[in-house]
Structure 1
Amino acid sequence: MSRKQRQTRPLTMSSELRYTANTQLEHLHARYTGTGHADLTKYEWLTHQHRDTLSSIVGHPPLTSYLAIADGEAVGRVKFEMTERMLQPCGPPPKKDD
């Protein structure tokens, strides 16, 4: 291998790694909507966090039972309220400035 070939080889590996990292990141964003991106606002990030928490509570029966006992409500009622809160967990979105 000549000296010129050795110098160009790491550059192609670097660009391949960058391409692979970008495609993996795009795959994560497509698969998991809550992973965020560079243009994510504070409201959107907070909304994702609240929805993740609420869905985790609904998806784990012991957590749902714990909240039902603590609130003195039926388990079905707690699940319904958690699911309803997922619609707008942080209230209406803020006004956008153009």
Structure 2
Amino acid sequence: MSELRHTANAQIAQLHARYTGTGHADITKYEWITNQHRDTSSSIVGHPALLQYLAIADGETTARTKFELTERMLHPCGPPPPKEDD
């Protein structure tokens, strides 16, 4: 049983190391929302049909839309909130 638990913990740690946006027990709401916005933006940039659809809807070129989405990934939800000291 202990070996199974150790293996499961190792797999979870490997998953978190590979995919930073998977979250964990202590993730804040800001971090979770930021990961969601970054995932959405990267998905749109990575799928040319979605990028073209969004560009047409915004009345911009696809290159401009791709640039704006990529720039927005830096701080998709604004600056992080101040940390609370316990």
1:40 maps to amino acid = I
- Pick the aligned partner of 1:57 from 33, 40, 44: 44
Please give the alpha-carbon distance, in whole angstroms, between the structure 1 residues aligned to 2:71 and 2:16.
25
TM-score between the two structures when normalised by the length of structure 2: 0.97
Which residue does the alignment assign to 1:94?
81
Identity over aligned pairs, percent: 75
- Pick the aligned partner of 2:69 from 53, 71, 82: 82
- Pick the aligned partner of 1:48 from 26, 35, 40: 35
2:40 maps to amino acid = T
Please give the alpha-carbon distance, in whole angstroms, between the structure 1 residues aligned to 2:82 and 2:7.
37
1:75 to partner: Cα distance: 0.3
1:38 to partner: Cα distance: 1.2
1:34 aligns with 2:21: yes
TM-score between the two structures when normalised by the length of structure 1: 0.85
Which residue does the alignment assign to 1:17?
4
> Which ranges of structure 2 fall in alignment gaps of 5 or more residues?
none
Give secondary structure in 1 for the equivalent of 2:34: helix
Please give the alpha-carbon distance, in whole angstroms, between the structure 2 residues aligned to 1:54 and 1:91.
15
Higher relative contact order (CA 8 A, sep 6+): 2
Q: For residues 62-77 of structure 1, what are the structure 2 equivalents within 5 Å? A: 62-77=49-64
For the pair shown, which has the larger CA radius of gyration, 1 or 2? 1
1:39 to partner: Cα distance: 1.1
> Which ranges of structure 1 fall in alignment gaps of 5 or more residues?
1-13
Q: Kindly tell me the number of residue pairs found equivalent between the two proteins.
A: 85
